[in-house]
Structure 1
């Protein structure tokens, strides 16, 4: 009974991938990387990436952290825009 009540409270999101969704996710990742570049104290932490100049001087932990944050931000933006009917 509790499970059916909980399932009834969640909205379904039949959102499919489109180029607009991809662009929003890319922009959110770029924003997260820019935010991380300006706020992370030690972005060059080990292990280093193969070409640090290509990745903005980030180490592997910093790159994983900023892109993970970017994906969380992107999911929130995409679902929010979908619930508002803009996407």
Structure 2
């Protein structure tokens, strides 16, 4: 049986310190003609995103693009500062 990396959570409703449910992540290697992929599931339900990846491109839930194109779109979102809570 293959062991999973420690940083990948598979259990549902595992709460993070910020009070949100931790994402559940599975990693699959390339097999035959299929690219390697990640399956990321919501921490509190069965919604999921599948990300196929290789050296040059990413396919996120059926939307293909180059890694650079995805970087231009997603990095600004990830680099945003968290909103401060109102008093």
Query: Does the TM-score normalized on the shorter chain lie above 0.5?
Result: no
Larger-Rg structure: 1
Q: With the length of structure 1 as denominator, give the TM-score of the two structures.
A: 0.30
More strand by share: 2
Higher relative contact order (CA 8 A, sep 6+): 1
